[in-house]
């Protein structure tokens, strides 16, 4: 460990990550599945503005957006929406779930350097486990929170606050890495540093205009962010 990283770890102890589109490349399968559902029920594919709005949200909220139904109407129809989504998603899951280049090395490095790692995702735990196990990443994480572990999804800070509590970490000792507007707002609401991944498909220019604390172009760039956060004169 470099002297600079040793100093930084005194400040940043915990790195939390979103899952879809941040750690594991599920971008193609998610867009294909949501577009198929939109074509079936609306007769057209989703616009980029639609994806900007719904990527990073729980499936229930995505279905509400696509179908335009809420409240009791959504509750009545959701089981059928869920069944359709799962059938379309699962038939492609193995072939279209891919690893982002450099993520494995980044996680291994952070883990070996003593950082606590966690996941806070709006995805179900089964999907998260599938991706982590496929690429041998499960061993690096001390805590994993899915949509089933919180009452309020991002941009509400509940998931991040709960993860910090479980890891005995304070906001000033924590950073969150994500790829969506909801990730960014959740970090701000939790009072922690937000790191945007440039490989997002959730409207990069729009996200950049929202002033994330840092932007990384490669997973290993997170080490530079941690060093920057550890500077006492910043």
Could you list the active site residues?
A: 18
DSSP result, 31-70: HHHHHHHHHHHHSSPPPHHHHHHHTTS-HHHHHHHHHT--
Query: For the chain, what's the residue count?
Result: 234
Q: How far is CA 61 from the centre of its chain?
A: 16
The number of beta carbons lying within 10 Å of the beta carbon of residue 69 is: 16
Q: How far is CA 135 from the centre of its chain?
A: 17
CB 217 within 8 A of CB 211: no
What is the sign of the dihedral through the CA atoms of 36, 37, 43 and 48? negative
What is the sign of the dihedral through the CA atoms of 42, 43, 49 and 53? positive
Task: Give the helix/strand (H/E) hosting 96.
Answer: helix 93-96
Hey, what are 190's tokens? Answer: 């939790």
């Amino acid at each position: 460990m470099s002297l600079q990283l040793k100093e930084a770890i005194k400040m940043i102890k915990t790195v939390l990550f979103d899952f879809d589109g941040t750690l594991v490349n599920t971008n193609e399968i998610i867009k294909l599945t949501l577009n198929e559902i939109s074509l079936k029920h609306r007769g057209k594919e989703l616009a980029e503005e639609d994806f900007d709005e719904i990527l990073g949200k729980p499936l229930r909220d995505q279905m509400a957006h696509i179908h335009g139904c809420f409240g009791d109407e959504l509750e009545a129809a959701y089981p059928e929406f869920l069944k359709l989504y799962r059938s379309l998603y699962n038939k492609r899951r193995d072939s279209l779930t891919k690893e982002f280049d450099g993520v494995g090395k980044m996680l291994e490095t952070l883990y070996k350097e003593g950082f606590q790692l966690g996941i806070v995702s709006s995805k179900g735990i089964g999907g998260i486990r599938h991706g982590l196990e496929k690429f041998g990443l499960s061993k690096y994480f001390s805590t994993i929170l899915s949509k089933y572990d919180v009452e309020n999804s991002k941009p509400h800070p509940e998931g991040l606050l709960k993860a910090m509590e479980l890891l005995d970490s304070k906001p000033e000792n924590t950073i969150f890495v994500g790829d969506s507007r909801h990730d960014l707002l959740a970090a701000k609401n939790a009072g922690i540093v937000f790191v945007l991944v440039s490989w997002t498909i959730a409207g990069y220019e729009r996200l950049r205009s929202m002033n994330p604390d840092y932007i990384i172009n490669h997973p290993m760039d997170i080490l530079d962010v941690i060093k920057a956060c550890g500077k006492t004169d910043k």
